Chains A and B, each alone.
Chain A
Amino acid sequence: MSSPAEPISRPAGAAASARSGLRRHRPKPKRDRYGTIVERWLRGHTMLIYLFLYVPIVIVVAFSFNATDRRVTQWAGFSFKWYESVLNDTVVQSALFNSFVVATSTAIISTIFGSMAALGLQRAPRWFRTPFEALTFISIIVPEIVIALATLVFFSSTFDVLNPLFDLQLRLGFHTIIAAHALFNISLVMLLVRARLSGMDRTHVEASYDLYGSPWRTFWQITFPQLLPAIVAGFLLSFTFSFDDYVITTFVSGAGSTTLPLYVFSTIRKGVTPATNAVAAIMLLITLGVLVIGQFLIWRNARRSGQRGAGASVAGMITEQSGG
């Protein structure tokens, strides 16, 4: 890679003519200088990109502690007053509560149904598996905005038909948000769990059967612990995606089911304020907290079952998935 490896490439012995020797020697220092420039550029570029990734977040968090009453960017001292005012605001409180309700329900539904589908798909016949996989694929690649509008049209037209027919009072609300969020997240959990299943060591399962373990016990004692990292990662990812979602939520939410992203979006329209920065910082804290908890759970599980390495981190799982 670097300059110390160069001498090896020099042709040894008298076979090398003086001319080729000259030609080989002259460009070398030039190439090395080139090399240091490339190395410096690589390092500098990487540092700049990391700055680019973190500066905006740091600015939001920093200005949320600004005591100013007027311009957001005019520093008037450190204070928690915006957090106090925001956390005492009943609108923010109910939005925060709604977001937790939606995200937790979505994560539970998606994790259970997604994992079940991954397990079922292993033994499903081909005529079923192929269309099912195609639908998973479609649910992921169709743009969120199209899914959101299609779901809205679907809900409003079915409610229009069903309500007078059966004398129902179906309306948009929590259930429609959760149902719409779960679609994408079921596919996501299923992909994560399937990836884990396909990389699983089958010898333990076979050993369990050889030792007369029942299918039920084999599943809970052998398969499930091995799938757990993927299931936990799926739960946390769906919680985060649901907690953070704006596009789908805004179309299928009803009166009284405003979530935190919806609240933030509506305040952005009025301009950036320290209060919005405080809400933003709270959202960042919650999503980061979820990541840390998940990492901790996966590490603990890995330590207990004695497996270590690349698979044992949320980060590793995400990078591996995106590469597959």
Chain B
Amino acid sequence: MTTSSVVAPPSAVRPPRSSRTGILTGLLLLPASLWYLILLVAPLAIVVVMSFGNATRIGGYEPAFTFANYASALDPSRVTPFVTSLVLAASGTLLCLFAALPIAYFIATRAGPRKSLLIILLVIPFWTSFLIRTYAWLTLLGPDGIAGFIGSAIGDSGFRILGTPVAVLIGVVYGYLPLMVFPIYVTLERMDRTLTEASKDLGAGRWATFRQITLPITLPGLITGSILVFIPLMGEYVIPAILGYGRVFLIGNQLVLQFLEARNWPEGAARAVILILIMLVTVVFYLWFANRGRKSREVSVL
């Protein structure tokens, strides 16, 4: 696009780099690079440096090199939010998976001409305000809603859903379900349908066909979806704050508490670094898996 060689032969996709195009490339990349340096690299670097520092009595930061913050962040008596987050993120991801797989399968194979309508109907809630979608459950799960209904059915007027992990789990599945459906749908949509027909012709039952053909082919989509749901879930802050009344205490809530109220920045920073490391390990593992899958698929095609 920015080439200056006008009469380049069609085969030369990459024209020789001149100093003018070099400058242009630099200018194109300059604003985004500045943004990354100032608003991503610098803040994260400060957090990493701070995580090795000392906390002062008035809630500031004192330069030092100590692992004490990591030690106290990983202290068994204070890792409960980590464990809660892990359990909630894992169960939320699994629930999304079980809820999403049949819909994705239905849309990809059974919906026919209504396919695009069904996809748009999935995009709409995903697009609309996340905060409002979480807020929407307050009435539905409240004492005038499902909780009251169950409460009167079991004869316990004090029965509550809001403020419990169940409410947070419902909010989580509600908020992130479309993110799980999209990638599964895309892999199912690209699947070669003749494979399942061949499997049926060879006498395999529904379950065997699903387990041996459809599931392995959909696996990349399932894993992409799980990553897309699991990662934001680990750092979720809004859903537990609204539907959990702050009583369901996740890492996100703990971080906010440490930074803003306890003002123990170094220990909060250590927790943030641990959280980022968990994310990175998950994603690197995912990428390794995705690449491995790609290679094996190429081999099988050959």
Residues of A within 8 A of B (CB): 1, 5, 8-9, 24, 31, 34-35, 38-39, 41-43, 45-46, 49-50, 52-57, 59-60, 63, 71-73, 112-114, 116-117, 119-124, 128, 132, 135-139, 141-147, 149-154, 157, 179-180, 182-183, 186, 190, 202, 205-206, 209-210, 212, 214-215, 218-219, 223, 240, 243-244, 246-247, 261, 264-265, 268, 272, 276, 280, 283-284, 287-288, 291, 313-316, 318-320, 322-323
Interface contact B107-A142, CB-CB below 8 Å: no
A6 to B122, CA, bound (A): 34
A83 to B214, CA, bound (A): 50
Q: Return the 8 tightest CB-CB contacts between A and B, nearest first.
A: A143-B235, A323-B186, A120-B28, A56-B136, A117-B32, A150-B43, A154-B43, A322-B182
Tell me how far the C-beta of A131 lies from the nearest C-beta in chain B, rounded to whole angstroms.
Answer: 9
Interface contact A315-B120, CB-CB below 8 Å: yes
Interface contact A319-B119, CB-CB below 8 Å: yes
Beyond contacts A60-B136, A209-B8: 13 other A-B pairs, Cβ-Cβ < 8 A, are A1-B109, A49-B99, A117-B31, A120-B26, A128-B29, A179-B39, A244-B130, A247-B238, A272-B135, A272-B139, A315-B119, A318-B182, A322-B228
Tell me how far the C-beta of B30 lies from the nearest C-beta in chain A, rounded to whole angstroms.
Answer: 8
Residues of chain A lying within 8 A (CB to CB) of residue B6? 209, 212, 214
Interface of B is mostly: helix
A141 to B256, CA, bound (A): 19
Interface contact A186-B35, CB-CB below 8 Å: yes
Interface contact A280-B132, CB-CB below 8 Å: yes
Tell me how far the C-beta of A219 lies from the nearest C-beta in chain B, rounded to whole angstroms.
Answer: 5
Tell me how far the C-beta of A5 lies from the nearest C-beta in chain B, rounded to whole angstroms.
Answer: 7
Please judge, given known A-B contacts A9-B201, A119-B28, whether A146 and B235 are in contact too, CB under 8 Å.
yes
Q: Does B87 contact A (CB under 8 A)?
A: no
Tell me how far the C-beta of B167 lies from the nearest C-beta in chain A, rounded to whole angstroms.
Answer: 12
Tell me how far the C-beta of A231 lies from the nearest C-beta in chain B, rounded to whole angstroms.
Answer: 14
Q: Does B46 contact A (CB under 8 A)?
A: yes
Q: Does B142 contact A (CB under 8 A)?
A: yes
Q: Does B217 contact A (CB under 8 A)?
A: no
Residues of chain B lying within 8 A (CB to CB) of residue A314? 123
Residues of B within 8 A of A (CB): 1-8, 10, 13, 17, 21, 24-29, 31-33, 35-36, 39-44, 46-47, 50, 99, 102-103, 105-107, 109-110, 116, 118-133, 135-140, 142, 144-145, 174, 177, 179, 182-183, 185-187, 196-197, 200-203, 205-206, 221, 224-225, 228, 231-232, 234-235, 237-238, 242, 252, 255-256, 259, 265, 268-269, 272, 275-276, 279-280, 283
Residues of chain B lying within 8 A (CB to CB) of residue A206? 8, 10
Residues of chain B lying within 8 A (CB to CB) of residue A202? 13
A135 to B2, CA, bound (A): 25
Please judge, given known A-B contacts A42-B110, A142-B44, whether A151 and B39 are in contact too, CB under 8 Å.
yes
A211 to B128, CA, bound (A): 46
Give the nearest-CB partner of A323 in chain B: B186
Residues of chain A lying within 8 A (CB to CB) of residue B185? 319, 323
Residues of chain A lying within 8 A (CB to CB) of residue B283? 137, 141
Please judge, given known A-B contacts A121-B29, A287-B127, whether A49 and B136 are in contact too, CB under 8 Å.
no
User: What are 24 A-to-B residue pairs whose CB atoms are below 8 Å?
Assistant: A53-B125, A53-B177, A56-B140, A57-B125, A73-B145, A132-B36, A137-B283, A144-B235, A145-B252, A146-B272, A149-B259, A153-B47, A182-B35, A190-B32, A209-B3, A223-B1, A268-B242, A280-B129, A280-B132, A284-B128, A291-B124, A313-B120, A315-B123, A323-B185
A243 to B234, CA, bound (A): 23
A153 to B144, CA, bound (A): 42
Residues of chain A lying within 8 A (CB to CB) of residue B102? 41-42, 45-46
Q: Which one of A45, A183, A261 lies within 8 Å of B39 (CB-CB)?
A: A183
Residues of chain A lying within 8 A (CB to CB) of residue B200? 1, 5, 9
Q: Which one of A119, A145, A152, A214 lies within 8 Å of B237 (CB-CB)?
A: A145
A306 to B139, CA, bound (A): 47
Please judge, given known A-B contacts A272-B139, A318-B123, whether A123 and B35 are in contact too, CB under 8 Å.
no
Interface contact B107-A46, CB-CB below 8 Å: yes
Q: Which one of A46, A209, A280 lies within 8 Å of B136 (CB-CB)?
A: A280
Give the nearest-CB partner of B234 in chain A: A143
Please judge, given known A-B contacts A54-B125, A63-B139, whether A150 and B106 are in contact too, CB under 8 Å.
no
Residues of chain A lying within 8 A (CB to CB) of residue B203? 9, 24
Interface contact A138-B131, CB-CB below 8 Å: no
Tell me how far the C-beta of B285 lies from the nearest C-beta in chain A, rounded to whole angstroms.
Answer: 13
A53 to B123, CA, bound (A): 11
Please judge, given known A-B contacts A150-B46, A212-B6, A215-B3, whether A55 and B140 are in contact too, CB under 8 Å.
yes
Of the listed residues B122, B127, B177, the one surrounded by the most CB atoms of chain A closer than 10 A to its CB is: B127
Residues of chain B lying within 8 A (CB to CB) of residue A291? 123-124, 127
Q: Which one of B35, B40, B44, B272 lies within 8 Å of A113 (CB-CB)?
A: B35
A39 to B109, CA, bound (A): 11
Tell me how far the C-beta of B250 lies from the nearest C-beta in chain A, rounded to whole angstroms.
Answer: 9
A109 to B58, CA, bound (A): 38
A190 to B127, CA, bound (A): 19
A46 to B203, CA, bound (A): 28
A143 to B142, CA, bound (A): 29
Interface contact A144-B237, CB-CB below 8 Å: yes
Interface contact B132-A157, CB-CB below 8 Å: no
Q: Which one of B137, B145, B183 lies within 8 Å of A322 (CB-CB)?
A: B183
Residues of chain B lying within 8 A (CB to CB) of residue A209? 3, 5-8
A285 to B123, CA, bound (A): 15
